[in-house]
């Protein structure tokens, strides 16, 4: 559907705890608040960067599973083209899985929105599966050239994942 808006609270009026790390939030402390879905429960977190809600935590639709897969992939540890391709395929498979969940809905044949979502996700998966790094992979013996090529490939794949068109 859409990502929940995150509100930055300069000073909270009621004490509480960060729902992510458990840190005590005292009256007057800054915090962030968000509510997922229509009439969703308001959630409060501290302002530490690691506690800021990720897109998968702010989404109420099935697409949250795709966002979670995108958040889990760590391209910085990929040390080869095969590892990059595996990460690419994992994200594409997550998109196809979400599309499949939409297609399995009883309302799929009657609801154009569900059909559009499934089509968009399958198209995004197709596009991502066509990703290939630019240029030929240098020989591993030329460490500097190979590492530079690998870093460019990581950046290229990261951009492709970030720019996936999702509903």
Strand pairing partners for 162? none
Backbone dihedral angles phi then psi of residue 50, each to the nearest 5 degrees = -70, -15
pLDDT of 3 above 90? no
Q: What is the pLDDT of residue 137?
A: 87
pLDDT bracket for residue 20 (50, 70, 90): very high
Other CB atoms within 10 A of residue 57 CB: 20
- Angle, CA of 147, 152 and 155, to the nearest 5°: 125
Q: Are both 18 and 98 inside the same structural domain?
A: no
* Lowest-pLDDT choice from 2-6, 91-95, 156-160: 2-6
Q: Are both 141 and 71 inside the same structural domain?
A: yes
Other CB atoms within 10 A of residue 113 CB: 10
Q: What is the pLDDT of residue 139?
A: 85
Other CB atoms within 10 A of residue 64 CB: 19
Q: What is the pLDDT of residue 123?
A: 97
In a domain, 108, yes or no: yes
Q: Are both 79 and 141 inside the same structural domain?
A: yes
Tally of structural domains, the chain:
2
Q: Which residues lie below 8 Å from residue 144, measured CB to CB, with a gap of 6+?
A: none
Other CB atoms within 10 A of residue 67 CB: 20
> What average pLDDT does this structure show over 124-145?
91
> What average pLDDT does this structure show over 162-166?
94
Q: Are both 145 and 90 inside the same structural domain?
A: yes
pLDDT bracket for residue 44 (50, 70, 90): very high
Whole domain around residue 77: which residue ranges?
Answer: 64-162
Other CB atoms within 10 A of residue 69 CB: 20
């Amino acid at each position: 559907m859409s990502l929940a808006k995150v509100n930055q609270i300069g000073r909270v009026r009621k004490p509480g705890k960060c729902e992510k790390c458990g840190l005590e939030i005292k009256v007057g402390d800054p915090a962030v608040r968000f509510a997922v879905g229509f009439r969703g429960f308001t959630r409060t977190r501290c302002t530490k960067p690691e506690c800021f809600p990720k897109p998968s935590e702010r989404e109420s639709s099935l697409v949250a599973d795709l966002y979670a897969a995108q958040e889990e992939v760590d391209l910085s540890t990929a040390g080869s083209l095969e590892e990059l391709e595996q990460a690419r395929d994992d994200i594409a498979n997550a998109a196809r899985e979400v599309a499949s969940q939409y297609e399995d809905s009883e309302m799929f044949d009657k609801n154009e929105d569900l059909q559009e979502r499934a089509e968009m996700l399958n198209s995004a998966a197709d596009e991502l599966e066509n990703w290939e790094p630019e240029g030929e992979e240098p020989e591993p013996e030329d460490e500097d050239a190979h590492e530079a090529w690998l870093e460019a490939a990581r950046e290229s794949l990261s951009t492709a994942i970030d720019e996936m068109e999702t509903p």
